[in-house]
Amino acid sequence: MLQTHGRRVDHLRLSVTDRCGLRCVYCMPFGEPPHAPREEILSFEEMATVVRRLHDEYGLTRVRITGGEPLVRPQLHRLIAQLDRIGLEEISMTTNGQVLARSMDALREAGLSRLNISLDSLDPDRYRRTTGGDLTRTLEGIEAADRSGLRPLKINTVVLRGENEEEIEDLTSWALERGYEIRFLELMAIGCVQDVHANLFVPTREVRERLGRSFALEPLEGEPGAPARIWSAKRDGVEGTVGFISPETEPFCTSCRRLRLTAKGKFLGCIMHDDGPDIRPALRAPGGFDPDAFDAAVRQAVGSKPIDRVYVSWGHMMSIGG
C-alpha cells in the first residue's frame, strides 16, 4: 500500500468493538456512550477477510487489535487464530488488562505476538478516578502477560496534568525493574476530551525533563514510521527503555504507516478522521465479497492520509481505536 507521498502503509489498527468496561476520562464520553448496534459490528470472519486481502494484495505485515476494549468481545482468541493463519509478521493487541489474566493463555496459544497494556496510575484511588476501574485487576493482567513470555511487554501511560504527572518517576522505575518498556503518551484532543484538553495536557518535553532529573536518558534510534521516540533510561543499576508518543508537540504524520478499521467497518487514514469509506457493502454484497468495491475503499482511505497534523477530531477514541 503505497500512497502518493511515498509512505508505505503496511500496518493495520483493527478495532473489534467500541465497548469497554472502563470509563477513562480521555476516551469515553459522559453519560450513555453512542455504541453501535451489534448487527453493525463486523464479524470475526469479515475481519479476517479484510486482513487477508490487505496482506495478499497490498503487503500488510502487522495487525494491532484494539477497541474499545478488545477483550470484552467474546472468544477473541478465535479471531487471532484466523489472523495467525494468514502469515502476518506480527499480531499485537492493546488492552486495559482488566480481564486479561483469564484470557492470556488462550490468546498466546492462538498466535498473539505482543501486548500493550494501559496503566495510568499505580495508586488505586487515582486509577479508579481516572479510569473507573480496579487497579488490582490490571496488575494481575500485566503479571499474566509477563508469565506468558511475550516480549517486549509495553506499558502505555497517558500523562494528565494534576493527576498522574507526579507518578512519572515511580511508573518508570516500576516498569524498568520488571523489564517492561513504559511509553508516555500526550493527551490528544479527540471527542469528549476537547473541553478539558488544555487543562489536562502535559507536553512530552516536561515529561522528559522530569525524568532527566532522576534517570540518565539517551535517545535511541527507533523503528522507521513508529510513533514512539525511544530513549534508554538508567538509575541505580537498573536500565531499560522509555518511549514517548507525542502527537501534539512532535507529530509523526509524515512517516505514519498505519491504516485503521473501525468495528463498524469504516477505513480511516488517520486517528483524527471522524469518518471514512465503509467496507461493509463490499463484504456483504449479495453475490459475495466484492473485491473492486473493497479496493476502492482502500485507495480512498490510504489516499486520505494527511501529511500535516490534524489537531481536533469530533470522533470518540472508543470508536476509533487507539
Q: What is the pLDDT of residues 190-206, one digit of tens each?
A: 877 888 889 999 999 99
Report the distance separating Cα 118 and Cα 175, nearest Å: 12
Q: How many CB atoms lie within 10 A of CB 58?
A: 17
The helix/strand/coil state of 32 is coil
Closest by Cα among 93, 8, 111 to 59: 8
Grid cell digits, residue 267: 477505513
Q: What's the whole-number mean pLDDT along residues 168-192?
A: 94
315 pLDDT band, cuts 50/70/90, is low
More confident residue, 21 or 240: 240
| All residues at 6 or more sequence positions from 50 whose CB lies less than 8 Å from its CB, including other chains | 14, 42, 261, 279, 283, 294
Which residue reads 470518540 in cell numbers? 316
pLDDT, residue 195, reads 80
29 pLDDT band, cuts 50/70/90, is low
More confident residue, 175 or 196: 175
State phi, psi for 183 to the nearest 5 degrees. Answer: -125, 120
Q: Do the Cβ atoms of 23 and 16 come closer than 8 Å?
A: no
4 pLDDT band, cuts 50/70/90, is low
The answer on pLDDT for 30 being more than 70 is: no
The answer on pLDDT for 34 being more than 80 is: no
H helical segments located in the chain: 44-58, 76-84, 100-110, 124-131, 135-148, 168-177, 197-200, 204-212, 280-283, 291-303, 317-320
pLDDT, residue 5, reads 64
From 11-15, 73-77, 226-230, 251-255, the region with the lowest mean pLDDT: 251-255
The answer on pLDDT for 288 being more than 80 is: yes
Closest by Cα among 226, 214, 182, 184 to 202: 184
From 106-120, 245-259, 301-315, the region with the lowest mean pLDDT: 301-315
From 18-27, 32-41, 83-92, 238-247, the region with the lowest mean pLDDT: 32-41
Report the distance separating Cα 43 and Cα 294, nearest Å: 16
pLDDT, residue 314, reads 57
Mean pLDDT of the chain: 91
Say which DSSP state 223 is in: -
| All residues at 6 or more sequence positions from 191 whose CB lies less than 8 Å from its CB, including other chains | 27, 29, 313, 314, 315, 316, 317
Q: Do the Cβ atoms of 32 and 88 come closer than 8 Å?
A: no
Hey, what CATH topology would domain 11-320 get? Answer: TIM Barrel (3.20.20)
Q: What's the whole-number mean pLDDT along residues 102-128?
A: 97
